[in-house]
Copies of this chain bind each other. A is one copy, B any other.
Amino acid sequence: MLAQKPSRKERERQRHRQEILSAALRLFSEKGFHNVSMQEIAATAEFATGTLYNFFASKEELFFELLVAAAEESLGIVLPALEGDGDERRRLSRFIRLHARIAREQAIALRLYLLESRGRCLSGPRVEAKKKEIDEQVTKPLSNVIASGVRKGRFNDIDPVVAAKCLSAALQALTLAAVEDPQADDLDANLKKVEAVFFDGLVKSRGGKRDA
């Protein structure tokens, strides 16, 4: 009663479903929600227009499902780093560096999420709500780790929520840039530089290394 139920017909159906999703993902992530038509998705997936509506109630629902899948996959890569072992600094470090893997493995899905990131009504209020929810799923654990570091005296006494938002925004910007133009920047190297910025800060705090 568990897994072996889907008998042929059902498997075919799921395969078709996946083909539609995959065609839609490619098109949406390249041209944005509003610049892709259901006809175009159907043609790309090699189905008729009406067939899409046997699987998805509307264009928005199709997009919504892609968004959720993309978010879950990316969050699944990056969130565990915050909960593993090691002190707070190591955890943040892992979290930051994992963004290179996201850029490599989830490039198209990432663009689906980040490209139309901040629109208010681009694809309906339901999509907007989901995006906010995703954002909090990153920001909350992130600020928890930072808060923990502050509590233990390992971090400076900064606001964990603001710090988490800053770090998250910076990572999103750099990761998106790397996805859009993979040859331009070495994301791995840039992420190490991000670490340097956020861990040590800009202003020189300690030993006299001044020369001017």
Contacts and interface: CB of A to CB of B under 8 A. Distances in A.
Count of this chain's copies in the oligomeric assembly: 2
Given A32-B120, A119-B115, A122-B116, A203 B212 contact: no
Interface residues of A, number: 57
A176 B193 CA distance: 25
Contact of A203 (B155, B173, B194): B155
A115 B116 CA distance: 9
Interface in A82-112: 87, 89, 92
Contact of A198 (B117, B201, B204): B201
A149 interface: yes
B120 A118 contact: no
**Most B-side CB within 10 Å, residue of A92, A114, A190:** A190
**Most B-side CB within 10 Å, residue of A116, A119, A205:** A119
Nearest to A157: B196
A129 interface: no
Given A162-B197, A168-B173, A199-B201, 11 more contacts: A32-B120, A34-B122, A116-B118, A116-B119, A117-B117, A156-B201, A156-B204, A158-B202, A166-B166, A197-B198, A201-B202
